[in-house]
């Protein structure tokens, strides 16, 4: 059976773990050549081994413009185009208002906001007319979760980008949309938010009480939403936000 992305070229930033890796795996299964990026060589090597020959792993930091320009030139030299861009790379860290350092502010906004902006801007010359951009947002863009004000605000900016860019790119018929996950079982829970086993159990119990589907999501479930927005099935969807959160922020 033909895949939805046969002969397409896809870039997934932050594609070595979690949601990004799940999305990359789905694109590969559906026939695409997939470039993935990340900052950790070890994670990238592991992801590349899992994804196989249709994937190209490039060590690259979305907050570093020189890295992005080098990535663009590599894709241009090998393939000459992009059909789909998934700007997924991001971090989530706690911050306490009144105790937040400038370095913490810069770290979150450099990756989650500046990184998304310049990833898309840098790759625009490669993105074909009629192509698709999918941004990874979060339901936190619409909430006021405590001790997460930097993360919340950074994802609100991502949601705003999709609206503005849908107008900016209308002449090229490039669709820009956002997928906004709720709580998902990814390494960011431990590595970014620093949750221990007890805290994770408490978080799961809280989600079970507040979300109609009563559980965390899986990276593969978010990947399916990303693939939908990137595919021809979403040909009349632009500037939209698709919340994939078990209903947590919807009811």
Please give the biggest Cα pair distance in the chain.
56
Catalytic annotation on 151?
Answer: yes
- How far apart CA 215 and CA 210 sit, in angstroms, is 9
Tokens standing for residue 137: 């947002």
- Single out the catalytic residue among 35, 151, 228, 236: 151
- Concatenating the DSSP letter of every residue in 35-94 gives EEEES-HHHHHHHHHHH-TTEEEEE--TT-HHHHHHHHHHHHHHTS-EEEEEE-------
- How far apart CA 115 and CA 186 sit, in angstroms, is 20
Catalytic residues: 151
């Amino acid at each position: 059976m033909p895949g939805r992305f046969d002969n397409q070229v896809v870039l997934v930033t932050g594609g070595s773990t979690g949601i990004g890796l799940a999305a990359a795996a789905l694109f590969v299964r559906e026939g695409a050549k997939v470039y993935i990026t990340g900052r950790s060589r070890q994670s990238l090597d592991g992801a590349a081994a899992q994804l196989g020959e249709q994937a190209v792993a490039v060590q690259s930091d979305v907050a570093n413009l020189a890295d992005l320009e080098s990535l663009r030139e590599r894709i241009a030299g090998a393939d000459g185009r992009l059909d789909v861009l998934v700007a997924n790379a991001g971090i989530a860290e706690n911050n306490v208002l009144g105790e937040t350092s400038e370095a913490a502010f810069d770290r979150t906004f450099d990756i989650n906001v500046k990184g998304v902006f310049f990833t898309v801007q840098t790759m625009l010359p490669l993105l074909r007319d009629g192509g698709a951009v999918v941004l990874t947002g979060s339901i936190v863009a619409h909430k006021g979760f405590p001790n997460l004000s930097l993360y919340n605000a950074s994802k609100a900016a991502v949601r705003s980008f999709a609206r503005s860019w849908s107008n900016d790119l209308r002449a090229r018929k490039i669709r820009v949309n956002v997928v906004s996950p709720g709580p998902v079982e990814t390494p960011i829970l431990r590595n970014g938010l620093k949750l221990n086993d007890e805290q994770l159990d408490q978080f799961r119990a809280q989600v079970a009480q507040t979300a109609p589907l009563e559980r965390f999501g899986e990276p593969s479930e978010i990947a399916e939403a990303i693939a939908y927005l990137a595919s021809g099935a979403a040909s009349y969807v632009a500037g939209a936000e698709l919340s994939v959160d078990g209903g947590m922020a919807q009811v």
